[in-house]
Amino acid sequence: MIALKLKAIISAKQHGLTTVADVFGTTKATLISWIKRMDESLDQLNVQPGRGRKSLLSIEEETMVKEWLSQNSQLTIDRLKIKIEEEMGKCLGRSTIHRLMKKLSFSSITPRPRHYKQ
């Protein structure tokens, strides 16, 4: 990622900000911020930690969910959602619970597919 940013900065010097922003698929403001950060140090071009949304469940709560899943292998996403709401008081979406199950190395239970006319 740093190499790509450095190429964009060098190209901006030769071809102009607008042209390079179009080629690299960024905005002029992003290129300008990369140039300013490069003046400070090359380490500033790395993606800074702490980006993104924080998890709604703490590590202790995730381990509790992992224990529930290991004790009862028949827990579906909907049942797990209800259990989390009752035990922890946190309302999570189905997709969030599915991502959590994947993160904890569990798979979700889905019914066998049936033809719609059956």
Q: Is 60 helix (H, G, I), strand (E, B) or coil?
A: helix
Domain range for residue 83? 59-103
Let me know if residue 27 belongs to a domain.
yes
Render pLDDT for 30-62 as a digit per residue (tens, 0 to 9): 888 888 887 777 666 676 677 678 889 999 999
Render pLDDT for 12-38 as a digit per residue (tens, 0 to 9): 888 888 998 899 898 999 888 888 887
Q: How many domains is the chain partitioned into structurally?
A: 2
- Integer Cα distance of 37 and 53 in angstroms: 24
Let me know if residue 67 belongs to a domain.
yes
Contacts of 88 (CB under 8 A, 6+ apart): 57, 61, 64
Let me know if residue 118 belongs to a domain.
no
Q: Is 57 helix (H, G, I), strand (E, B) or coil?
A: coil
